[in-house]
């Protein structure tokens, strides 16, 4: 069920947290609010939930204007970065909380909680206290607790921010699967562009309190609206005054002859091996530097090494004017 | 180990200190109270003035402790959850009763509520006597024990933060439900300790109560005042028996606190892993 945010502005003292932000989250989508820390994305999420009040603008959920409604009447499920577990309640009672205060019959509560604990894989830990759970387990408990009230929308504030890398990757996949099962409209706040692209089907890039661009991960990656989106979403380097993705460049040995097309001469300054990829910094003969992302195989084949003289070319599969608006 | 050389002397020193300051004097009081047999002690305790002092002390506690509990939790919530100009002043004001001598508190209360005090005329018109009467004793006891609940509850509130309360709100809980089901269980431990300290202070307060009550036997004499008067009258048995009554009240309190603590331990995860 859709969320519509219109012309939201919010200040904290002198600091502008959000400046005239409008955003539509389509029903059933998983949208990521992506941006650097302090950019205002968490504030936007909290405003949607009713935990913060905007200075101006409106919040509409399912066509209902909820700008002035208190958090408890909005029917949103909210997950905090640090999970906010009720420390004095067991996992079961945590999940049951929303149903208990709605005075649902005990048998119904038990059945629903059992179902949810099964769904998040915590059925065997139902009688534990939050302090006895790992971070990932607490996060799943918080999700089950939020889902128990059958929320119209699910809001997740940096849900994987406090977890270690391995658990984070697991939970991302798990969340994506969960969303594909439940289809609850979900908004997720993250500063990790890889996480956003892996989990979400739509991205909304927020920076300095403004919405920079909204679209699918592929749209934003290939057609960024501005330099910020371009550089935030993935690696970027400048060639001949224009931004390109380093993996859209190819390197050719000078002795193999000048390749056709748009080509620049240069010298390899440094080669960095990053496991599956190789990063080559190239000093261009015409001034300036750029870097090229090569596959391991490709790098070995060319024998790329510091001091080597090379041609740098834009891949033939890519149009030469990749980011036309962004030429600097 | 280097530590072991110091362990024994340290223990002896600490236990000796405790024995000289607390154990020895208190057990002497117990011994003297029952020196002339249980019958004599019973007679002394059930004497009208002694009994009245005990009942009055319990009455004062029954009024002042709930008052300060509600006030203390309220002030803690305001200080922990709201930012407003002058918060530091409120924070500092709460501590005044700890910093200032109880006698000064008593005097100040007389200046405000006494017959010639600020509210004196108005109170007299309403036929309310505060000073040299029970209301004055309650006021004095409440004033000196004001900070304890705040000082125990406020740090806990600051430590737990507001996320649990916010989570409860998004799950549909109103303010009262949030307080009852989330905030209160979280501060229960600190609150129990604060209430215990408050009660101990209220039961044992001497200085402030002595000033405002006039210490009239059988009317405005609390247990500590009764003990003091008994000593002056060389009625040592009554004094010791009164002292024992105070000690027993304190012991019952400590026991109650320990029981609450045990009960609470589980959710801190210390019990089972």
Q: What is the DSSP string of A166-202?
A: HHHHHHHHHHHHHHHHH--EEEEEES-HHHHHHH-SE
Q: What's the rounded Cα separation, in Å, for the pair A158 and A88?
A: 24
pLDDT at B268 over 70: no
Q: Is B198 on the interface with A (CB under 8 A)?
A: no
Q: Which residue carries 């599956």 as its tokens?
A: A276
Q: What's the rounded Cα separation, in Å, for the pair B36 and A228?
A: 91
Beta strands (DSSP E) in chain B are none
First CA to last CA across chain A, in angstroms? Answer: 41
Q: How many beta-carbon pairs below 8 A join chains A and B?
A: 74
Q: pLDDT by residue (tens digit) across B127-186? A: 888 888 899 999 999 999 999 999 999 999 999 999 999 999 999 999 999 999 999 999
Of A70-74, B238-242, B264-268, the range with the lowest mean pLDDT is B264-268
- How far B173 CA lies from chain A's nearest CA (Å)? 6
- Mean pLDDT for A134-138 is 93
- How far B61 CA lies from chain A's nearest CA (Å)? 30
**Between chains, do A88 and B186 touch, taking CB under 8 Å as contact?**
yes
Closest residue of B to A94, CA-based? B168
Please report, for chain B, the start and end positions of each structural domain, with discontinuous segments joined by +: 60-220
The highest-level CATH class for domain A3-230 is: alpha beta
**Between chains, do B170 and A76 touch, taking CB under 8 Å as contact?**
yes
pLDDT at A320 over 50: no
Collect all residues of chain A within an 8 Å Cβ-Cβ radius of residue B163. 80, 82, 84
Residues, chain A? 328
Q: Is B184 on the interface with A (CB under 8 A)?
A: no
How does strand A64-65 pair with strand A76-79?
unpaired
pLDDT at B269 over 60: no
Q: What's the rounded Cα separation, in Å, for the pair B249 and B57?
A: 11
pLDDT of residue B258: 74
Alpha helices (runs of H) in A123-253, residue ranges in sequence order: 135-148, 165-182, 193-199, 217-222, 227-233
Q: What's the rounded Cα separation, in Å, for the pair B262 and B248?
A: 21
Report the complex ipTM. 0.85
Return the number of other C-beta atoms located less than 10 Å from residue B48's C-beta.
9
Of A6-10, B58-62, B263-267, the range with the lowest mean pLDDT is B263-267
Contact (CB, 8 A) for B151 and B194: yes
Contact (CB, 8 A) for A157 and A80: yes
pTM, two decimals, is 0.83
**Between chains, do B163 and A87 touch, taking CB under 8 Å as contact?**
no
Closest residue of B to A148, CA-based? B171
**Between chains, do B166 and A78 touch, taking CB under 8 Å as contact?**
yes
Percent of chain B with pLDDT over 90: 58
Percent of chain A with pLDDT over 70: 96
Nearest to B71 by CA among B147, B144, B135, B130: B147
Query: Which residues are within 8 A (CB) of A36 and not within 5 positions of it... i.e. 6 or more apart?
Result: A191, A207, A232
Average pLDDT, chain B: 88
Query: Which residues are within 8 A (CB) of B217 and not within 5 positions of it... i.e. 6 or more apart?
Result: B49, B226, B229
Contact (CB, 8 A) for A233 and A314: no
Percent of chain A with pLDDT over 90: 68
Closest residue of A to B186, CA-based? A88
Collect all residues of chain B within an 8 Å Cβ-Cβ radius of residue A149. 171-172
**Between chains, do B174 and A72 touch, taking CB under 8 Å as contact?**
yes
pLDDT at A45 over 50: yes
CATH number of B60-220: 1.10.3720.10
Contact (CB, 8 A) for A240 and A264: yes
Closest residue of A to B185, CA-based? A88
Q: What is the DSSP string of A273-309?
A: EETTEEEEEEEETTS-EEEEEEEHHHHHHHT--TT-E
Which of A49, A72, A86 is opposite residue B164, by nearest beta carbon?
Answer: A86
Q: What is the DSSP string of B167-181?
A: HHHHTT--HHHHIII
**Between chains, do A72 and B172 touch, taking CB under 8 Å as contact?**
yes
Q: What's the rounded Cα separation, in Å, for the pair A86 and A84?
A: 6
Which of A80, A145, A148 is opposite residue B163, by nearest beta carbon?
Answer: A80
Collect all residues of chain A within an 8 Å Cβ-Cβ radius of residue B169. 50-51, 70-72
Collect all residues of chain B within an 8 Å Cβ-Cβ radius of residue A72. 169-174
Alpha-carbon dihedral sign for residues A234, A239, A241, A242: negative
Nearest to A293 by CA among A273, A311, A269, A317: A273
**In the CATH hierarchy, which fold is given to the domain comprising A238-315?**
OB fold (Dihydrolipoamide Acetyltransferase, E2P) (2.40.50)
Please report, for chain A, the start and end positions of each structural domain, with discontinuous segments joined by +: 3-230, 238-315
Q: Which residue carries 């919010």 as its tokens?
A: A10
């Amino acid at each position: 069920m859709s969320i519509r945010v219109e012309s939201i502005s919010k200040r904290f003292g002198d600091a502008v947290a959000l400046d005239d932000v409008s955003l539509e989250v389509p029903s059933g989508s998983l949208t990521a609010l992506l941006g650097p820390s302090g950019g205002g994305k968490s504030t936007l999420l909290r405003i949607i939930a009713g935990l913060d009040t905007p200075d101006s603008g409106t919040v509409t959920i399912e066509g209902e204007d909820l700008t002035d409604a208190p958090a408890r009447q909005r029917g949103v499920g909210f997950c905090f970065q640090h999970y906010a577990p009720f420390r004095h309640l067991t996992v079961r009672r945590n999940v049951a909380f929303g149903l208990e205060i709605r005075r649902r019959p005990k048998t119904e509560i038990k059945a629903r909680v059992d179902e949810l604990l099964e769904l998040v894989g915590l059925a065997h830990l139902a009688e534990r206290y939050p302090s006895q759970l790992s971070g990932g387990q607490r996060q799943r408990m918080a999700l089950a607790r939020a889902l128990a009230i059958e929320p119209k929308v699910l809001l997740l504030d940096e849900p994987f921010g406090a977890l270690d890398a391995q658990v984070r990757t697991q939970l991302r996949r798990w969340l994506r699967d969960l969303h594909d099962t439940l289809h609850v409209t979900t908004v997720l706040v993250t500063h990790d562009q890889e996480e956003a692209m892996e989990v979400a089907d739509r991205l909304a890039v927020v920076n300095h309190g403004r919405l920079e661009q909204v679209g699918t991960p592929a749209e934003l990656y290939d057609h960024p609206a501005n330099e910020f989106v371009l550089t935030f979403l993935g690696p970027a380097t400048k060639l001949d005054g224009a931004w390109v993705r380093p993996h859209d460049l190819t390197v050719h040995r000078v002795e193999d002859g000048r390749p056709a097309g748009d080509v620049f001469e240069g010298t390899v300054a440094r080669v960095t091996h990053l496991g599956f990829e190789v990063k080559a910094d190239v000093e261009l003969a015409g001034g300036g530097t750029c870097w090229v992302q090569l596959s391991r195989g490709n790098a070995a084949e060319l024998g790329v090494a510091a001091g080597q003289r090379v041609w740098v070319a834009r891949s033939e599969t890519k149009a030469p004017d990749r980011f036309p608006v962004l030429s600097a | 180990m280097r530590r072991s050389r110091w362990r024994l002397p340290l223990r002896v020193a600490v236990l000796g200190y405790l024995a000289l300051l607390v154990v020895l004097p208190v057990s002497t009081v117990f011994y003297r109270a029952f020196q002339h047999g249980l019958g004599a002690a019973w007679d002394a305790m059930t004497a009208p003035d002694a009994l009245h002092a005990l009942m009055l002390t319990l009455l004062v506690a029954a009024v002042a402790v709930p008052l300060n509990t509600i006030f203390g939790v309220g002030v803690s919530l305001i200080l922990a959850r709201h930012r407003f100009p002058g918060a530091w002043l409120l924070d500092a004001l709460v501590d005044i009763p700890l910093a200032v001598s109880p006698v000064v508190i008593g005097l100040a209360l007389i200046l405000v509520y006494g017959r010639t005090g600020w509210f004196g005329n108005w109170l007299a018109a309403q036929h309310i006597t505060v000073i040299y009467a029970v209301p004055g004793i309650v006021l004095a006891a409440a004033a000196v024990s004001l900070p304890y609940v705040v000082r125990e509850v406020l740090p806990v509130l600051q430590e737990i933060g507001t996320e649990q309360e916010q989570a409860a709100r998004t799950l549909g809980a109103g303010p009262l439900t949030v307080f009852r089901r989330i905030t209160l269980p979280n501060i229960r431990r600190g609150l129990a300790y604060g209430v215990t300290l408050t009660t101990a202070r209220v039961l044992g307060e001497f200085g402030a109560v002595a000033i405002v009550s006039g210490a009239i036997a059988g009317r405005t004499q609390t247990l500590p005042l009764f003990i003091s008067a008994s000593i002056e009258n060389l009625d040592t048995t009554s004094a010791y028996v009164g002292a024992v009554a105070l000690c027993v009240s304190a012991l019952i309190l400590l026991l109650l606190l320990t029981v609450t603590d045990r009960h609470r331990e589980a959710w801190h995860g210390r019990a089972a892993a």
